[in-house]
Amino acid sequence: MLSPLVAGYDHVLLDLDGCVWVGDEATPQAAEALAALRAAGKGLAFVTNDGRHGVEDFVRKLWGLGMQASVEEVVTVGAAVQFMLAERYGAQRAPAVVIGSPTIHRHVEAAGLRIVNGTDFVARAAVAVVSGHEAFDFAELRDATTAIMRGAEFLATSRDPTYPTAAGLWPGTGALVAAVETATGATATTIGKPEAGLVTTALDRLGPGRALFVGDRLDTDLAAALNAGIDGAVVLTGSTTLAEAQSADPGPIAIAPTLADLVLGHTA
């Protein structure tokens, strides 16, 4: 049975890292919470700034943790980057420098661009894309810096400074973006949350109705909800403390220890 708060919405949009799971473990009773949402007929979407993995990877992980999901329900920042680049540069086969995982590289190439990292064409790149990944190195920083200082457009998948893991908070895309911004003096354009684009894409797929966004970060998840004109709730399984959530202005519509507490009836 759903909480009275959640029952009042037609659709629920969920962040993944820090909300549905932390590292490779689901947050407590997350599977039960999602099952209850589906049983109540709520529209679901999973909206993530994580550019390290593709849509199919997220679907497999959700199923592996006991949660149903389809590719249509997952909205990733990598797919948003691909769409934007295809519109702006794909017809030109433009050169690009990429800091990011193999998934982000595939999205850039699928948009029709040529990745020129480590070649003589770095200085001619039309765009530099920065996304967090564990193999970040100096060569990537050097190439992105060179491209941007020669006039390349500077895009970032997000500004999340950290992301939650079982071992604690690890550096996120925002840490890498800060390094490039420091080196170049340029400011990145952000594609993912807190910008509204990922949320509005999810809303377009879900159709008409009242929607609630649930996440663990004030600066990205809650801000993206507000920027998209919908309500936002915060859970405390990720990057935000109770004191931070309570002092936020504007604040979330609800605060809960976990996603299951929020969905099944124990909000603060």
Domains, the chain, ranges and CATH?
4-49+193-264 (3.40.50.1000), 78-190 (3.40.50.1000)
Could you give the CA distance from residue 38 to residue 193 in angstroms, rounded to a whole number? 25
The confidence score (pLDDT) of residue 102 equals 97
pTM, whole model, 2 decimals?
0.92
Residue 62 has φ and ψ, to the nearest 5°, of: -60, -50
Tens digit of each residue's pLDDT (9 = 90 or more) over 42-96: 999 999 999 999 999 999 999 999 999 999 999 999 999 999 999 999 899 999 9
159: left (phi over 0), alpha (psi -120 to 50) or beta: alpha
Question: What amino acid positions are annotated as catalytic residues?
Answer: 15, 17
- Contact partners, residue 75, CB within 8 Å, separation at least 6: 45, 46, 47, 48, 198, 201, 202, 205
How many Cα atoms sit within 13 Å of 158 on the Cβ side?
31
Tell me the residue length of the chain: 268
Q: Is the pLDDT of residue 150 over 80?
A: yes
Tens digit of each residue's pLDDT (9 = 90 or more) over 174-222: 999 999 999 999 999 999 999 999 999 999 999 999 999 999 999 999 9
Could you give the CA distance from residue 217 to residue 220 in angstroms, rounded to a whole number? 6
